[in-house]
Structure 1
Amino acid sequence: MHLLAAQPGGIADGGEAVDLGQSPGDIVFASAADTELACFARAQASLGTNAPSLRLANLMNLSHNLSVDNWLEATVSGARLVIIRVLGGESYWPYGVERLTQMCRDRDIALALLPGDDKPDSELAWRATLPPDACERLWRYCIHGGLENATECLRYSAELIGAPAARAWREPAPLARAGLYRPGAGQIDLDEITAARTREDRPLALVLFYRALVQAADTAPVDDLIAALEGHGLAAVALFVSSLKDPPSARFVETVLDAAQPDIILNATGFSVSRPGSAQPSPLDRSSAPILQVVFAGGTEAAWAAGTRGLSARDIAMNVALPEVDGRILSRAVSFKSERRFDAATESGIVAHTPRADRIDFVARLAKNWARLARADIAERRVCLVLANYPNKDGRIGNGVGLDTPESAARLLRAMQAEGYTVDSPPADSAALMAALQAGPTNAHGLRDKGGAGARFGLDDYLAYFNNLDPEARALVSERWGAPED
């Protein structure tokens, strides 16, 4: 059987044997989590060239038995300490666990087989060659996460193999389930936020994101978004949570919202608290600020650019459709998973979130506009409600599968009027709304003019709009209908 070289940008599916191409290292660390591997790569870089050598491997590239055998002989055989995080227990990686245990026992290599989550696993524990207290400490470094814990884990590992670091290791430090974050400062206190709110007259933007990014030291999109918001004149702070459904996280969010009273919230967490057709209270309900949904995409930028629908189905479900159930306002994707880059120090492919500057800037400007709108008097706000008008039947106006869009629109207009918005003669019901819409021009085939009521433009006005279209779109229109002047 042939071995395929591990390819940048991909993960093996187990159908083919893969050669990771790694030389032996003093310490070998393997996990199925890209974010964890990226964090340990950063930790190794922070320790300098005098630290014991480290090899990182993704277990998803070691699904094939031949891949395991090759990696054990080429890399693990020369290690002094092996740390493996197995999500799902021994049954997830049975051949690897068996062969690795055998090699480490035969060659007197220190071994820690750790659960890939925060649940103890006795089946993995008994296979370790390290003492239980050492395995427990290594596991706690991993489950607490973050760059500091990863760095201390490597310092502790160095001592385990008799090569202590220049500075003594520290015990694992728990990371709060939710906390405030600022680039370069890590976690900050709530007092800093309230003081800034009192001191500054700028609108305050609150960025909400997942704790997992702090654990993985993968906060580049958050850092860049905060910088862009501040560059556009907003004060900005970030808040990380395990989940909006996690009770401690939810309580902390409510506390922060009460104290900070942000003008705009940018939510980068996925899913929804409510279910379609069944509204549930969300901790973000504590604030009346507009909430923009910001997407940290799970796919690569190349796949997004090449795809006909943009984001993947998974990203659309997690970051677009479900957040809309909670009333979020979609902005756009501002970050993508980077293609695998080769990290020479650990001889591994690293994946991380990579922000797009132009899309970050767009969202920052959008947030500024929403914050400004939120501060304007209600009666002065100019709001446009847009319904779909699909060709070529009037029955498709405001069409939404399983939804009564016209009735929703009619109720929304009446509710806005009750809140003080300027709404002249809101429709009494959906029938009145549809009658008003169909009285003017629509896309119904053969009825566009409705007896002369169609929308018409002078040639100069038409060309002003037409020339702003994409050149390809203009060419298609002209090919189908002729030049505007004809």
Structure 2
Amino acid sequence: MDEQEGHIFMILLASTADTDLLAAIAASKQADKDVPPVTTISIGADPTTHTVPDLDGIQVVMVRLLGGRRAWAPFDAVRQSCVERGIPFIAMSGEVAPDAELTGLSTVPSAVVAQCFDYLVKGGVRNAGNLLAFLTDTLLMGGVGFEDPVDEPMTGVYGEADADPSKPTVGIVFYRSHFLSNNTAFVDALIDGIHAHGCNAVAVYTYSLRPDPETGRSDALDLLASHQIDALLVGMFAMGGTIESEEGAWTAQALLDLGVPVIQAIAATSSAAEFNETDRGLSPMDTAMYIALPEFDGRIIGVPTSFKEQTDAGAVYMPDTERSLRAAGIAARHAKLRHIPVEDRKLCLVLSNYLDERSFALERIGTAVLLRTPIANRPTSS
């Protein structure tokens, strides 16, 4: 750790992905003493609220943005400050493909940007640790040594998959970045909830549910199908598209091909305190990404199962045990229904009603929003 005149020199990482920050913080705690520690900025749902950070003591600035330079309001001011102070500035895409504009705005050689980007795309604490060592040796003239980026699995089973043939099976799919940054407590809570409701649980992590453009297949969904799941809890907010002709567009067909009920599990981006203190509940972004848009995929909307809380390790998704049990219960009941013979199932039709003079006069049920429903039959008195 470099110190001069009482200053501790640090590496700044600002990212729209909290999992990048979690991995960097964990790696920094394990790093060689000559690697500068990391300080982080979470670029959240409302980036305009972020002011230009204090760069005193900062030796390197890395920015990873989902949505390009406009995703973070202070971007240009931070870059200009780095130029004036002689601080290396590295800007990268939040996607798996590089962003030429961000690479061009970086003040280090493009090869350095490319290697930093590769470390972050491949993800995990190990790659984050080597990223810090790479920056130390390449830009700060250190000598700690580093390894090249290593591939981490893009898709896989989290933990052990249950396989009791006497029980229905509920699948869970969540982001790979949470797996690589050890941010999985919210997944564990869903697994516990599924077990409590008497079902097998199979949790799969993946980068994306988008099918491979060449094969048209989704590895994550194929993996879940191989475990013969009866219902699926989706912890991701990727939504389908309505324009199937658009090249490379994601549609809900891959989910439909599973042939099972799909329940949306909501990982709220607000804290539990913020959620409880507002009459609105979920933020506008969460409402859009976890409720409004997934409905176009035909998903059954569940409940918030976790909330984002700030800890010493960074922002993590802390599970809400009661709500996780509730979401798991919705999935478990749908899974169990598939094992009940059709002739033994019961159907309940619920119609909303609006009690006005017209509905009373016509003795109709379900008259809300001008539904055309039958007049209730009443026995006539003699």
- Among 81, 84, 92, which residue is 2:62 paired with? 84
**In the alignment, which of 354, 359, 368 is matched to residue 399 of structure 1?**
368
Q: What does 1:78-477 align with in structure 2 at a 5 Å threshold?
A: 79=59, 82-85=60-63, 87=65, 88-89=68-69, 93-104=75-86, 111-117=88-94, 118-121=97-100, 124=103, 128-129=107-108, 132-160=110-138, 161=140, 169-175=146-152, 177=154, 179-183=155-159, 197=163, 200-214=165-179, 216-247=181-212, 250-270=217-237, 272-273=239-240, 275=242, 281-338=252-309, 340-341=310-311, 350-392=314-356, 394=359, 397=366, 399-400=368-369, 434-436=373-375, 438-439=376-377
Q: Which residue, out of 9, 18, 23, partners 1:39?
A: 23
Distance (Å, rounded) in 2 between the aligned partners of 1:314 and 1:169: 39
Give the TM-score, by structure 1 length.
Answer: 0.62
Letter in 2 for 1:121: A
Q: 1:225 to 1:49 in 2, by over 3 A?
A: farther
Tell me by how many angstroms 1:257 deviates: 4.2
Contact 2:79–2:89 (CA<8 Å) still a contact in 1?
A: no
Letter in 1 for 2:200: A
- The runs of 5 or more residues in structure 2 that have no matched partner are 1-5, 246-250
CA contact (8 A) 1:254 1:286 kept: no
Residues 7-64 of structure 1: CA deviation (Å, up to 9, x unaligned): xxxxxxxxxxxxxxxx84444122132512232112223x168463413132759989
Q: Do the aligned partners of residues 214 and 65 (structure 1) sit closer, same or farther apart at CA in structure 2, a change above 3 Å counting?
A: closer
Number of residue pairs matched? 353
| Equivalent-residue separation in structure 2 for 1:263 and 1:232 (angstroms) | 14
CA change 1:319–1:42 in 2 (3 A) is: same
**3-state SS of 1:352 partner:** strand
Q: Which amino acid aligns with 1:313?
A: P
Larger Rg: 1
Q: Secondary structure at the match of 2:264?
A: strand
1:30 to 2, 9, 13: 13
Tell me the secondary structure at the aligned position of residue 218 of structure 2.
Answer: helix
Counterpart-to-counterpart distance in 1, 2:49 and 2:284: 28
* Residues 13, 62 of structure 2: 8 Å contact kept: yes
Secondary structure at the aligned position of 1:272 is classed as coil
CA 1:124 to 1:318, structure 2 compared with 1: closer, same or farther past 3 Å? Answer: closer
Query: How far is 1:371 from its partner?
Result: 1.9
Whether the 8 Å CA contact 2:119–2:149 is kept in 1: the answer is: yes
Q: Which amino acid aligns with 1:372?
A: K
Distance in 2 of aligned mates of 1:253 and 1:170: 29
Q: Contact 1:257–1:286 (CA<8 Å) still a contact in 2? A: no
Change (3 A) 1:63 1:327: closer
Instruction: Tell me how far 1:439 sits from its aligned partner.
Output: 3.5
**Where do 5+ consecutive residues of structure 1 fail to align?**
1-22, 186-192, 344-349, 407-430, 441-449, 453-486
2:368 alignment partner, SS class? coil
Return the structure number with greater helix share: 1
What secondary structure sits across from 1:224 in the alignment? helix
**1:124 CA displacement:** 4.8
RMSD of aligned Cα (Å): 3.7
Q: Secondary structure at the match of 2:330?
A: helix
Deviations 1:304-350 (A, max 9, x none): 21222422333222212322232222221101121x3456xxxxxx3
C-alpha distance 122-365 of structure 1, shift in aligned 2 (>3 A) = closer
CA contact (8 A) 1:264 1:367 kept: yes
Structure 1 residue 381, shift from structure 2 partner: 1.5
Q: Secondary structure at the match of 1:369?
A: helix
**Distance 1:169-1:181 versus aligned 2 partners, 3 A rule:** farther
CA distance in 1, matches of 2:49, 2:170: 48
Residue number in structure 1 paired with 2:248: none
Classify the secondary structure of the residue corresponding to 1:351: strand
Amino acid at match of 2:22: A
